[in-house]
Chain A
């Protein structure tokens, strides 16, 4: 997005003269939405960011939370939506590279990747090509740098056919004492290590800050190709430097390139800098302007005390990593840039790094009424067998095997609970103890497009439940708000409401939002925004990984219980959409108080060993959760829906498919049912025992003893396991 006339006037005022072309390029890169958060900064202040676990909040490349007395988790989310729309393979791959470098900046060891992908209809040829490229790009890059992709979230919707949302997150661990939390000092050297700078992604951030142009060939300058080998060298070299306490500060060169890395580092610490551009190692001959804003990947800024520079250089050489010492920090707050002795830019760091925030106009569009409409008349009740199979065949519910089998999810032997088996991934800390960490990412684009406030709150709730279901204690979250064009009030409104929904729910659940990212301009060529989407990634503490809970049924004869009240909440459900094409209505309410109360019961029941399996209820409702538990455990079940604790429900489909929040299905051990019942009562939690796990291959659902449906588990499993592959690859 080129600078506006008002912005150019403001730059003249800041400098007191006409800017040079280099200065203009620096301002254009840094004042882009992507780098400066100018449209979102005022609203982002609503998020709760503090808490007793928070070591580093928002503002740095990545936040850090204290997960155990001696261990920190560094985690962050990032979007690579626009690059992935143009070049899905490299766009998604470089997204992984970027988020890993953010984790490195605090000195942590990256241990896991998550990918949250919101993509088009698999049967649309263009969307299908994007899906394949994105999944392959993530898997190739992640596998090559040796970091497992352990969890994620996927959604398919035709609004993402040309503009997918590619959100990736990385989780790192560090000893609290080893975190790099220092500040650069005047005189400290600026080292750029990693790839040689080329003409890649010139003004790429400014490219991400505008809608995709019709003629995609014009966007060629913004295409970047990932280089996992160099990334791996960076990971290893930085960890070594950090372990020797040789670096003062580290920052990724991401969007905005050198300009952003230097101006933000300087501005954050009240410093200035002197930079000699000709010293930067390059791949080709570049102009000073290009050197300043190139977004070549796999580069990092390392700040080193001059007395350590020789040792650092030796180590970088030993790791076969290219580097250059391009300048030093000063105490005067001015960034001075030279090229072959000529001064090409002289700008105050603070004014460059932080443009004036803008409070954008925000108006609900007519379309927003869809989310307010109660579902007062339902389509005729379906045949339940057919309905259940159709629902499980939905790419939004069916097994994501096709995706996660391409990922190496076991490199590093940390993974305790693997993709598909638990509501969240559980990873070992690998310090010889039984301690671990749970991670999960969640979103529901349909909810947030119908009701952005409650939909975003539900993403927080879902993430919270997923972390609880594996037996962890949720510690903190990061958020990624994927929105439309902030200059259009009717699109900005969705962003504002999503943000307020996250802020409200996170505060109610006492989950600090320690970091995040905003992605605007997610619209197609026609200027229609894709479904606005709030992605939440959370981390939880696992005290004993041997007690980590999975979803599959374990033994026949055990009891099946639902925790929480079921309401007739079918608005925005997968059921109404998949069976009747209805995409409207009041979405399920966020229920923070019930979430906390019910989570406490789950945590306690797991600790006491009363339960064999726990699964949260989400998309697809009760039946989707039950089917997954049965399929993964290869055990049938029998339930009577009349036993479900529900309110205001009139039909069986409301019981089976409602997506009411704050609910879990649990498999209670056959010999501990009384204890479980007593515990739930004493904790004042609504629950109902609805049936049992059986020693046969049948799924039997009755209502007041009258059969509603009876299906072979094998049939259900076949549909669940293979539907996504059929959608993507076509019928065999």
Chain B
């Protein structure tokens, strides 16, 4: 057993709007002249410290708990799980 740091990134699915990102983009970034930025998407970030045999198992546990505890809504959100280096 060892400790693994697992990152969870939750964003709205590609086809689903993200008004918060749009607002930051339009009302802040573009207004201040950063016209090279063409899109902003926001999301939620979680960092979990997990005790598990190995990193794959830690990811599996986190994936399951995110689904079971409804930390994200699979209908609306994409979820990305990463092992923190």
Contacts and interface: CB of A to CB of B under 8 A. Distances in A.
A90 B12 CA distance: 11
B75 A225 contact: no
Interface string A238-262: 0000000000000000000000000
A226 B76 contact: no
A118 B22 CA distance: 33
A229 B23 contact: yes
A89 B19 CA distance: 14
Interface residues of B, number: 14
Contacts of B32: none
A208 to B, nearest CB: 15
A86 B13 CA distance: 14
Contacts of A224: 17
Contact of A200 (B17, B23, B70, B74): B17
B17 A227 contact: yes
A87 B13 CA distance: 13
B37 interface: no
Contact of B75 (A87, A125, A226, A228): A87
Interface in A505-520: none
Interface in A20-67: none
Contact of A225 (B12, B70, B74): B12
A230 B27 CA distance: 12
A89 B13 CA distance: 15
Contacts of B74: 217
Contacts of A219: 75
Contacts of B19: 225-230
Contacts of A221: 15
A533 to B, nearest CB: 24
A465 interface: no
B16 interface: yes
Nearest to B18: A225
A20 to B, nearest CB: 25
A15 B17 CA distance: 36
Contacts of A217: 74-75
A199 interface: yes
Interface in B6-34: 12-13, 15-19, 22-23
Nearest to A284: B15
Nearest to B74: A217
A223 B76 contact: yes
A283 B17 CA distance: 10
Interface residues of A, number: 26
Interface in A485-499: none
A198 interface: yes
B17 A87 contact: no
A220 interface: yes
Contacts of A223: 16, 75-76
Contact of A220 (B15, B18, B22, B23): B15
B65 to A, nearest CB: 13
B73 interface: yes
Given A86-B75, A87-B76, A225 B13 contact: no
Of B13, B16, B18, most A-chain CB atoms within 10 Å: B16
A129 interface: yes
B76 A90 contact: yes
B75 A199 contact: no
A383 interface: no
A283 B75 CA distance: 21
A221 B16 CA distance: 8
Contacts of B15: 199, 220-221
Interface in A395-428: none
Interface string B22-57: 110000000000000000000000000000000000
B75 A216 contact: yes
Contacts of A225: 12, 16-19, 76
B73 A87 contact: yes
Interface string A87-119: 111100000000000000000000000000000
Nearest to B70: A129
Contacts of B12: 225
A596 B32 CA distance: 63
6 contacts: A199-B15, A220-B15, A223-B75, A223-B76, A225-B17, A229-B19
Given A217-B75, A225-B12, A225-B16, 14 more contacts: A86-B75, A87-B75, A89-B73, A125-B70, A198-B17, A199-B15, A220-B16, A220-B76, A221-B15, A225-B17, A227-B17, A228-B19, A229-B19, A283-B17
10 nearest A-B pairs in the assembled complex, by CB-CB distance: A227-B19, A225-B17, A129-B70, A87-B76, A86-B75, A216-B75, A223-B76, A229-B23, A87-B75, A223-B16
Interface of A: 86-90, 125, 129, 133, 198-200, 216-217, 219-221, 223-230, 283, 296
